[in-house]
Chains A and B, each alone.
Chain A
Amino acid sequence: MIIIERSSLDRLFEKIKTAGYKLIGPTIRDDAVVYDELNSTNDLPIGWTDEQDGGKYRLVKRNDNSLFGYVVGPQSWKRFLNPPLQRLWQAKRLDNKIETIPEQAENTKYAFIGVRSCELNAILIQDKVFIGGEFVNSSYQKRRKDNLIIAVNCTISGGTCFCVSMNTGPKVKEAFDLALTEVITHNEHYFLVETGSESGKNLLEDIPQRTASQDEINTGEELIKKTSDSMGRSLDTNNIKELLFNSFDHTQWDKVASRCLSCANCTMVCPTCFCTTVEDVTDLSGNIAERWQKWDSCFTLDFSYIHGGSIRSSVKSRYRQWMTHKLSTWFDQFGTSGCVGCGRCITWCPVAIDITEEVRVIRESDNLLTISKEEKSDGIA
């Protein structure tokens, strides 16, 4: 473990940019922490933190100049790895012949700085979807191949965070190039840096650094432990796959449906939601066609449309689909949970529907249902 002073961080940024990467990291825009291209550490949300709760997000000034003293905002890294709008190909029709023009492979190499453990897990989950199956999403694969990940261990917990419940944080464990833990006191400001790969190691060359002392390492660990202990939410994942699969007819779905606006915010902010749609367009002449891929959401009415109508026409069925997929059927499909406990869906839901609360109600009343059934059969002779 080594230490880099805060003042040397800009050197690291420069090095990354010189190596040809587009440096993406957190910055403030529209009163939120979003991910965008960074020029220097000055673009980071210096001295800011966030207060999050169901349906609530506020930026609040801290009384220090920390660079990563907040958690996650409405955006996730999926907007760079699987962009909201992408052209897939073009085609020209001439003399009753059609010529398809594939998209040129992107030359951008992305370096992500400030990737939280929950987010890193979300990226790995999307890796399974796009490059872990029989078919490979070649553009996603290319962006991931050249992807530099500088992760940040959270030293503060968010109001809607529950990564501890989902076993996805707050400490990053794998798949990163460098992992930083920010330590800031009234007279010190430095980063503990853990190397995760050859690329990470190379980045650190000729950046002023020193070996971390055991005390300093402990300080870092304590900060992370404090974060673990102060999660805003929790979700009991015991047997959750079976619990939700067997709760298809639970009355709770009707209750949440009466609140849900099917606005699709949760799917837009969720770092693992991957659904897209395809749109075929032409120009006015009708001789040039394009196929575009756009983000989509299972909350839309026509998401499940087949001739005659939509299979999931009620809001109830769509909410149930989303939550059951995220926490239950994702296991059957990809071998892991689809949820990383980042809490975004709770924060950005306009009516503050809380996925952890929905699970709690279903779990608790599920026990009740079993009990009352037994009582009934013992009762009347």
Chain B
Amino acid sequence: MAAGDSMLNLLQGYLEVTTNRQQTIAANMANVDTPGYHTKDINFQAAMQAAMEKSGGSGEGPQLEPASLDVEGLPERPDGNNVNIDRESLLLSQTQLQYQVGVQLVKSEFHTLLTAIKEE
């Protein structure tokens, strides 16, 4: 069951990355009126890479997650805040759908396992 196992580990990593991103977006939305706040985001590719390496079993223990970065190129308001509500709303829905994909894949993995276990 090595193949199914690594698939589940990979999906776990994927769900963790999407959850982290969703939390970052929620933080941006929460600080929509905070003077001087800058929009943050996580590097999805780097985070996914780290999650894949972790699922490869290359080492346990506490791992530093990729730090969230300030997003470049967003116009700043006079109070020094550059949160764009439309960008965050869009990313919120997008990340929610990505998470849903991950959950459905986990479900189908377990469904496959169950089919193998059940006698016809």
Genuine A/B complex: no
B interface, CB within 8 angstroms of A: none
